[in-house]
Amino acid sequence: MINKKGRPVGDTQFLFSGNTTSLSQKVKNNKVVCLLSTMHKGNAISQTSRKPVMIEHYNETKYGVDTFDQMCSTMSFSRKTKKWPLCVFYEIINMATINAYVVLSRAQSVRGDPEMKRNLFMEQLHVQLLTPWLEEQLKVPTLRRAVKLDILSVLKVDEQVPARPQPEKKRTTCKYCSSTKR
């Protein structure tokens, strides 16, 4: 049903099982749309648009899903990884940040406050999530000076990082001197 090769563009296939209807339509050369519905029972195709009724209903009622997917792809926490649990975790973080932004926007509109831009919201969220961890990292005594300066600049703290004191050089004896001279 998902096979992209060998199917002409516009080809639609239906699969029925109990009260569930599955649809697969090849919309472009390399793109197949799959839908699963318990609401639609037949393989009805609209005469005006020549699209299945399932796809028309989806397009009319589920526009928020496309907006959500677009928001996920524009600002994403995802990183390239081969570990599927990490992929799932990144997607959960993406969804949580978008949901938090929607809640904030709704609260601001109810209060009459101007709406915060999403990139500003994401930047503030990143700083708020990172601040406790960065403050803990500053306490590490073996942290490199350059990293410490970077952390201080992110935290916007004007703290001087003391230069590491040079240890006093001990006098050593050469290997030819006897131990009695030491």
| Each residue's pLDDT tens digit, 106-116 | 999 999 999 89
| Each residue's pLDDT tens digit, 106-154 | 999 999 999 899 999 998 988 888 899 999 998 898 989 889 888 888 8
33 pairs with which residues across the strands?
A: 25
| Each residue's pLDDT tens digit, 3-25 | 667 788 888 888 898 899 999 98
Average pLDDT over residues 37-48: 85
b/e burial code for range 134-157 (CB count within 10 A of at least 16 → b): eeeeeeeeeeeeeeeeebbeeeee
Would you say 42 and 62 are in contact if contact means Cβ atoms under 8 Å apart? no
pLDDT band at 95 (very low <50, low <70, confident <90, very high): very high
Gap between the Cα atoms of 121 and 104, Å rounded: 9
Gap between the Cα atoms of 36 and 27, Å rounded: 16
Gap between the Cα atoms of 40 and 23, Å rounded: 10
